[in-house]
Chain A
Amino acid sequence: MKASSDEYKGVWIVSEHRAGELRKVTLELLGKGRELADTLGVELVALLLGYHVSGLCKELIEYGADKVLLADDPELEHYRTGTYARVIADQVIKRKPEILLIGATYMGRDLAPRVAKRLDTGLTADCTELSIDTEKRLLVQTRPAFGGNIMATIVTPQHRPQMATVRPRVMKAMERCVGKKGEIVRVTVSFHDEDLRVKVLEVVREAKGSANLEEADVIVAGGKGVGMPQGFAVLEELAGELGGQLGASRDVVDAGWISSTHQVGQTGKTVSPKLYVACGISGAAQHIAGMKDSEIIVAINKDPEAPIFQVADYAIVGDLHQVVPVLTRKLREYKKQVRR
């Protein structure tokens, strides 16, 4: 809604949880939210929607929330656009926060634009930086565009709340403050018929045939240097030893060597793991755009001129088919030693 800044106060985040646990991105939102709320001198509120989820309130408070708005209802058990948008929009209209943050997850990117349109306000997607312009009392939102080739800084000057989805694994959660006290407010929910139009028939978690790269701490990725589809087996073993996921460049996905769920890059997934091991990947700009925010990048490639070496922290000019199995073996030996 178009609004004067005075009417709208408070920083809100939308919690995301699964199988009875808060997802990491929620703690990250609280960490950043706390910082923004303190700068503005306002309260930090966590919205918690679900069914039989009141047990999560304590954790939300201990990770930074001053207040939890709890909507507990059987219709909220599985995420659906209509039901979640209804609850959130109603609460925003009633209580008027100036900032609303949602994780840029599959849920968040489905939900946030729906809510933003309903509230007639601006939304910035996939933010990697957030700060406050204290003079203008504006949320300054920075996010990658053009597949990461541009960093755009955006504000919502006249409409409230200022909404943003936040990229997971970028913001920092606070230290948990056990025993911290906060307010829990149970909100009543009522749905319109149109909120219930969508039915979730089934939810299928795929252990194999799917790769949760966005949340992985370690990714071992392969490109054309892998040689053939079976070549990924050695990378998979290394990934296993490191507790990581298997990634791939666009070339090998297009060639049919591995499924697109593993693809990292502009038209694949954007990842920011602690460790990214690029094996036999030349480093095309569109691939680098998808993994350059990794904390540690190791590149293994036969070609000393490969562009991937420009972004790597550690470079090995060599044959991945020799280096990777040796590394896997050494990791196994090391773990055996440590266990003794």
Chain B
Amino acid sequence: MHIIVCIKQVPDTHQVQIDAETGCLVREGVPSIINPEDKNAIEEALRLKERHGGHVTVITMGPAQAEDALREALAMGADQAILVTGKGFAGADTWATCYALGQAIRKLGNFDLILCGRQALDGCTAQVGPELAEFLDLPQVTYVRGVEVEGKTVRAKRSLEDGYELIETQLPALLTVVKDLNVPRLPSLDEVMKAYREKEIKIWGAEDIEADPDHIGLRGSRTRIVRARTPEFKKGKTEILSGSAEQAAESLLVIFRERHII
């Protein structure tokens, strides 16, 4: 099996900086991690490889520092890592991102399965996975919390608001996964060192993937951010309900009645 995992390096979401001109997130200089649900995707790819044989390619579109995310994936056990990078890719919305990843995947050639995290901590759109599936004309299953592959058939457990559904489709396919799927392994120090010393990361620019400059980055984005602001967390006044548990509970009962909760 050849499994491709699309990952994203995301900033630590407690620290946010915005470029005043473009309205885009400034990623340099902020601590970074592999997007958590992408780690679940890497883990599942490795489990499927262990079960069915084959190899795992991890791919990301990002600035140079995204190499660290790829190294971590290689340390976990991925076989090949590709960084799609270059000035032209910056400021991409999900449309332009999926185009870039899609072009890179086309260059990779044959694959059986693409795994993505459901959504990224920063953008929170959950759009790249399904858009990529459309771009590559693949069946998709989103919100996946269970996967089984048998020959060319894949069966996935897809979360719903109040339960789940069992979906079946044929490979090649694209799945987006949620954290309930698995617990990602922690690479040993040895594996991390090897990932930095011995394994190679392929760097692909716009020309390598035959990307149309009008379809990538800020230029290729169909949406534009016009403003970004930090919302106020503070509500109005906080009313303190004092006294014993009995008194506090009584006060709440009155409030629930007034506010039509009961």
Contacts and interface: CB of A to CB of B under 8 A. Distances in A.
Interface of A: 81-82, 85, 105-106, 109-114, 116-118, 120-126, 140, 144-159, 194, 197-206, 210, 212, 214-215, 218, 242, 260-261, 266-267, 274-275, 285-286, 288, 292, 296-298, 309-319, 322-323, 326-327, 330-331, 334-335
A5 to B, nearest CB: 15
Contact of B229 (A114, A151, A210, A261): A151
A276 to B, nearest CB: 11
20 contacts: A81-B140, A110-B140, A113-B130, A114-B134, A123-B222, A148-B231, A153-B225, A157-B224, A204-B164, A204-B166, A206-B162, A212-B162, A214-B161, A242-B262, A286-B14, A296-B255, A314-B252, A316-B252, A318-B245, A319-B245
Contacts of A313: 235-236, 238-239
A200 B166 contact: yes
Nearest to A85: B134
A330 B228 CA distance: 45
A206 B163 contact: yes
Given A122-B222, A159-B222, A311 B131 contact: no
Interface in B200-229: 221-229
A197 B180 CA distance: 25
Nearest to A168: B161
Contact of B126 (A113, A157, A292): A113
Given A117-B131, A150-B228, A285-B14, 14 more contacts: A81-B139, A145-B124, A146-B122, A148-B231, A151-B231, A198-B167, A201-B166, A202-B165, A206-B162, A218-B261, A242-B262, A266-B13, A286-B14, A311-B235
Interface residues of B, number: 79
B238 A205 contact: no
Q: Which of B126, B222, B227 has the most CB of A within 10 A?
A: B222
Interface in B135-152: 135, 137, 139-143
B94 A210 contact: no
Nearest to B129: A113
B182 interface: no
B246 A326 contact: yes
A118 B140 CA distance: 14
B26 interface: no
A152 B223 CA distance: 12
A288 B140 CA distance: 32
The 3 A-B pairs at the shortest CB distance, nearest first, are namely: A122-B222, A122-B223, A117-B134
Interface of B: 13-14, 16, 18, 23, 25, 36, 93-95, 98, 121-131, 133-135, 137, 139-143, 155, 159-170, 179-180, 221-231, 233-236, 238-242, 245-246, 248-253, 255-256, 259, 261-262
Given A144-B124, A202-B165, A288 B252 contact: no
A97 B252 CA distance: 48
A26 to B, nearest CB: 14
Contacts of A210: 162-163
A285 B161 CA distance: 24
Contacts, number: 243
Contacts of B142: 106, 109-110
B143 A106 contact: yes
A159 B235 CA distance: 37
A144 to B, nearest CB: 7
A125 B125 contact: yes
B243 to A, nearest CB: 9
Contacts of A260: 179-180
Contacts of B250: 330
A245 to B, nearest CB: 10
A82 B167 CA distance: 13
Given A113-B126, A122-B95, A151-B228, A314 B255 contact: yes
Contact of B134 (A113, A148, A242, A334): A113
B245 A323 contact: yes
B135 to A, nearest CB: 6
Given A155-B226, A310-B234, A242 B122 contact: no
Contacts of B252: 298, 314, 316, 327
B224 A154 contact: yes
B262 A152 contact: no
A110 to B, nearest CB: 4
Contacts of B261: 218, 242, 274-275, 296
Contacts of A114: 130-131, 133-134, 140
Contacts of A261: 180
B239 A201 contact: no
A153 B161 contact: no
B121 A147 contact: yes
Nearest to B170: A197
B255 to A, nearest CB: 6
Contacts of A215: 161
A109 B161 CA distance: 12
Nearest to A202: B166
Contacts of A124: 125, 223
A93 B134 CA distance: 17
